[in-house]
């Protein structure tokens, strides 16, 4: 008896396999196309609700308006310091006294010399006046007349010279009393009692009490933001001070490649030497970096654009000069709907289903 189970099956042809493959590929293509045309679910937020004014900070310092090394102007022994490190002084306060006995004697000497010359000048004037009378009468020789006139003129010049010498000796004597040239604080003492000073010998360091200026250095990349920004403030010890830009040096520092800027306190002032931060906000509004996407090597944002009551599509808006990873400046209508969720899966022109 013949066993039917062992009967050979018909071989499937290559043509049949090829047709089956085509059918499967066609079905997959149809499914993919259907998926692409299906509206993509996204969430949106109004531009006005996510826009921000970027805040920047830079280091800043309140430099001393005056920071002077108070030095001796004469050679003398230091007699006394009337102030020391940490003392507050006013303009013209006495700081240091030097041994002035020698210079006081020079003042007396100069005064005596001047007095002697004035006496001689007075006598020469009397003689010249007599010579004038005798000359009119013809009772004096021309040579004698000229000698008396020359003597008076010589003594006039000598008196002027001695007067200047006396004034100079007084100025030198006054330098024995070293006084404060401005209000400030003594930050350091450089000499001691009994030392012999020479012109230029450092005695004290004096720093002015306050300054109206804050100084900072700005990277060229932040220059436009800084100069066009708003709400400039200086922050020191958790306290803020309002500022206005006074000037920005238009040239770059050759060492740091930065611009030097100075800002002026508008109300209360920080103390001299304060080292803190300068804070300001961009004048133009920006969109957070997290909402900036890249398409075709361009950076921008996706917005949900309503074409009709039931038709919404994705629109890519390029942002010029945007930098990846940083907030980007862009001006849109306050009600513009920015795609916040699902923005990475959409393309320009995609149909959308907003699920806010």
pLDDT at 255: 82
Using the predicted structure, report yes or no on whether residue 8 has a pLDDT greater than 80: no
Over residues 82-127, the pLDDT tens digits come to 999 999 999 999 999 999 999 999 999 999 999 999 999 999 999 9
Q: Is 275 strand, coil or helix?
A: strand
Q: Name the pLDDT band for 14 (thresholds 50, 70, 90).
A: low
Q: 233 near 241, Cβ under 8 Å? A: yes
Residue whose token pair is 């500022």: 243
Q: Crossing angle of helices 101-137/142-174, nearest 10°?
A: 160
pLDDT of residue 36: 47
Contact 118, 157 (CB under 8 A): no
pLDDT value of residue 244: 95
Q: Name the region of 49 (left: φ>0; alpha: ψ -120 to 50; beta: rest).
A: alpha
Residue extents of the structural domains in the chain:
39-53+286-354, 56-65+210-281, 70-96+178-209, 101-175
CATH code, residues 101-175: 1.10.287
Q: What is the mean pLDDT of the chain?
A: 88
Q: What is the mean pLDDT of residues 165-172?
A: 96
Q: What kind of architecture, by CATH, is found in domain 56-65+210-281? A: Beta Barrel (2.40)
Q: Do domains 56-65+210-281 and 70-96+178-209 have the same CATH topology?
A: no
pLDDT score, position 181: 95
| pLDDT range class, residue 324, cuts 50, 70, 90 | confident
Q: What pLDDT is attached to residue 209?
A: 83
The class that CATH gives domain 39-53+286-354 is mainly beta
Residue 35 pLDDT > 50, yes or no? no
CATH class given for the domain over 70-96+178-209: mainly beta
Q: Which two tokens stand for residue 47?
A: 């531009």
């Amino acid at each position: 008896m013949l066993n039917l189970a062992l009967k050979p099956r018909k071989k499937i042809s290559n043509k049949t396999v090829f047709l089956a493959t085509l059918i499967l590929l066609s079905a997959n293509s149809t499914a993919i196309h259907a998926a692409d045309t299906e509206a993509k679910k996204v969430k949106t937020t109004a531009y006005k609700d996510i826009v921000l004014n970027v805040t920047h900070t830079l280091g800043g310092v309140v430099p001393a308006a005056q920071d002077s090394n108070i030095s001796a102007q004469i050679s003398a022994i230091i007699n006394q310091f009337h102030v020391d490190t940490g003392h507050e002084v006013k303009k013209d306060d006495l700081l240091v006294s030097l041994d002035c006995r020698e210079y006081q004697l020079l003042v007396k000497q100069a005064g005596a010399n001047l007095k002697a010359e004035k006496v001689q000048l007075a006598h020469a004037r009397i003689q010249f006046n007599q010579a004038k009378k005798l000359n009119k009468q013809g009772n004096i020789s021309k040579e004698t007349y000229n000698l008396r006139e020359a003597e008076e003129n010589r003594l006039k010049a000598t008196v002027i010279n001695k007067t200047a010498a006396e004034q100079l000796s007084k100025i030198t004597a006054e330098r024995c009393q070293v006084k404060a040239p401005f209000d400030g604080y003594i930050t350091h003492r450089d000499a001691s009692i009994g030392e012999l000073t020479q012109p230029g010998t450092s005695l004290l360091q004096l720093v002015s009490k306050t300054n109206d200026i804050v100084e900072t250095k700005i990277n060229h990349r932040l220059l436009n933001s800084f100069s066009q920004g708003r709400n400039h403030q200086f922050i020191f010890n958790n306290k803020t001070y309002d500022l206005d830009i006074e000037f920005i040096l238009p040239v770059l520092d050759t060492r740091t490649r930065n611009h030097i800027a100075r800002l002026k306190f508008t109300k209360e002032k920080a103390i001299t030497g304060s080292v803190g931060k300068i804070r300001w906000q961009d004048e133009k509004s920006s969109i957070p970096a997290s909402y900036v996407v890249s398409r075709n090597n361009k950076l921008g944002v996706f917005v949900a654009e309503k074409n009709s009551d039931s038709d919404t599509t994705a629109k890519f808006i390029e942002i010029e000069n945007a930098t990846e990873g940083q907030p980007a400046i862009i001006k849109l209508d306050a009600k513009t709907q920015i795609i916040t969720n699902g923005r990475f899966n959409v393309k320009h022109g995609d149909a959308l289903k907003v699920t806010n």
